[in-house]
Amino acid sequence: MNLFRIIIYFVLFSSIGMSQNRAIKDVFSQKILTEDFTEQNYSFPTITGSDGKYAIIMDSLGYYGLGSGNTEYPILIDWENDLIDFELKIKLRLKNETESFVVQKLQGQKGQIIGFIIKYNPDRQEAIIFETNTVRQYRLSHLKNDKLRSLTDGWVFTENLKRNEVNEIIIKTRDSQYDFYINDKFTFTKNLRKLEDVLSFGNFGFYIGPNTQVMIDYFHISTLKDYNGINKLFNLSEEEAKELIKEKEDIKKKLEQEKTTATKELKEVIKLLERELKSSNQLIDSLQTQNERFKPFKSLIEENGNFMYTLTKDLKEQMEKNNILHEKNQLLMDSINFLIKKQDEFKLEYLRVLDSMMEKNDTINEN
pLDDT of residue 344 exceeding 50, the answer is yes
- Higher-pLDDT residue of 275 and 203 is 203
pLDDT greater at residue 232 or residue 92: 92
- How large a percentage of the chain has pLDDT more than 70? 82
pLDDT at 99 over 60: yes
pLDDT beyond 70 at 168 = yes
User: What DSSP line would sit under 170-199, residue for residue?
Assistant: EEEEETTEEEEEETTEEEEEEE-GGGTTT-
Mean pLDDT within 352-364: 68
Q: Is the pLDDT of residue 163 over 50?
A: yes
Query: What are the boundaries of each domain within the chain?
Result: 16-233, 236-293, 311-362
Band of residue 203 on the pLDDT scale cut at 50, 70, 90? very high
| Contact in structure between 140 and 180 (CB atoms under 8 Å) | yes
Looking at domain 16-233, which of 3.30.750.24, 3.90.1300.10, 2.60.120.200, 1.10.150.120 is its CATH number?
2.60.120.200
The answer to whether residue 360 scores a pLDDT higher than 70 is: no
Average pLDDT of every residue of the chain: 83
Range name among 154-158, 263-267, 328-332 with the lowest pLDDT average: 328-332
pLDDT, position 15: 39
Q: Which 8-state DSSP code applies to residue 213?
A: E
pLDDT at 302 over 70: no
Choice among 155-169, 291-305, 349-363 with the minimum mean pLDDT? 291-305
The residues near 203 (Cβ < 8 Å, ≥ 6 apart) are 76, 77, 79, 81, 117, 119, 120, 122, 127
Taking 90 as the threshold, does the pLDDT of residue 259 lie above it? Answer: no
Contacts of 227 (CB under 8 A, 6+ apart): 30, 32, 83, 85
* Nearest residue to 88 (alpha-carbon basis) of 160, 152, 169: 169
CA distance 23 to 329: 125
